[in-house]
Amino acid sequence: MTDPELSPTRQPGNLESDQHDQSNPHPPGQSFQSTETATESWSGGNLPSLEALHLPSPAELAGEESTWNEPVSRMMDRSESWNPLRPIMRMFWFISFLLTEYLISGRILVETIAIGAFYVLFLRSDTQIDASKFFSLTSIFMLGLTIYTMSMVMNMANRPQNYMVLARRLSRSGFLISLYFIALIILVTGYALLSAVTISLSTPQNLDLTNWFLGSLPLLLNVGVLLALLLMLSPLACSPGWRLLVMGLIAMAFSGSFVGSSVIEQLPDTFRRILSSLQTIFSWPLVPAFSGYVLSVQRDYTNNAFAILLAQASLLIALLGLAVYAFSRREIIFHDE
């Protein structure tokens, strides 16, 4: 009796062979026979069909793949749900790593020397300084220090090694916000050091803990606004065209201070009206920063001081959001400098 499994031909009426084919869709004998039949039909000019070769269908392959991947996906989803703070922890370790590198590399020495020189030249005097002079001078100094610190942090970010950082599941927004907080931590620490040295050695008038906090809050918000603006204008976030456009709008807002009134009066009347309207429109985003500077110097919270603080915080969030959006839409290209 011939074994239906090893028979070179298939009998359509053989029930045992049909049952065996249903349990095992790829029997060895049948595969050999199908290949031989396909070779003969191919030599005759006819291409073999998928049914003749008895290949598994895409639906069967997709079913097997989903069956194998289903436990793995469930395990990955379960591991992510166990630690919802994992993205924040990645940002924390990245910030800690770059801060450590900033300290070890000696970049912090520039801020330290600048703070010491500023105190010796402007805040240390024989006569006792008052709180208004301290905040007015310190506000201008912190803006200059912000530009330097942010440029150093962006140089650390613009390195090919950071491709590996982004590949380790640190998102683009997390990467950019981490850079912002690194610069903010350095500047806040430097400002606290400068304030401690000034209060302990020079003892400014009317500068107790309450006045220091009331003056420091709008000052540090201005520092945060400038940091967000520099982050948005960095090569990582904006293209050169958008960067020039934003800088042109800022220059237009300050054009009233750069161009003398005698030059503006010589312009045609229509052009002067258009220029005045553009200056008014583009200077509105800068109003919270200037109002915050006045609030820091005067420390008068009786009128609309909280509205000024809210406007500063809103401007900071808007600039930071624009920087994150621009960075997420831009192709990442780090340079080895």
> How many domains does the chain divide into?
1
172 vs 7, higher pLDDT = 172
Flag whether 42 is in a domain: no
What does the pLDDT read at residue 212? 94
Q: Mean pLDDT over residues 283-306, rounded?
A: 92
319 SS3 class:
helix
What does the pLDDT read at residue 185? 96
Tell me what percent of the residues of the chain surpass a pLDDT of 90. Answer: 39
Flag whether 65 is in a domain: no
- Reported as a pLDDT band with limits 50, 70 and 90, residue 257 is low
pLDDT, tens digit, 9 for 90 and up, residues 319-330: 999 999 998 888
Flag whether 3 is in a domain: no
Q: What is the pTM of this model?
A: 0.71
Is the predicted pLDDT of residue 236 greater than 80, yes or no?
Answer: yes
Of the candidates 203, 243, 220, which has an alpha carbon nearest to the alpha carbon of residue 145?
220
205 SS3 class:
strand
Flag whether 320 is in a domain: yes
Maximum mean pLDDT: which of 167-171, 306-310, 327-331: 306-310
Distance CA 246, CA 66 (A): 50
Is the predicted pLDDT of residue 59 greater than 70, yes or no?
Answer: no
Is the predicted pLDDT of residue 69 greater than 80, yes or no?
Answer: no
Is the predicted pLDDT of residue 48 greater than 60, yes or no?
Answer: no
What does the pLDDT read at residue 294? 94
Flag whether 64 is in a domain: no
Flag whether 33 is in a domain: no
270 vs 137, higher pLDDT = 137
Flag whether 138 is in a domain: yes
Please name the residues in contact with 128: beta carbons below 8 A apart, sequence gap of 6 or more.
202, 203, 204, 205
Chain mean pLDDT for the chain = 78
For residue 302, how many other CB atoms are within 10 A of its CB?
Answer: 5
The residue range of the domain holding 289 is 90-329
What does the pLDDT read at residue 195? 95
Flag whether 118 is in a domain: yes
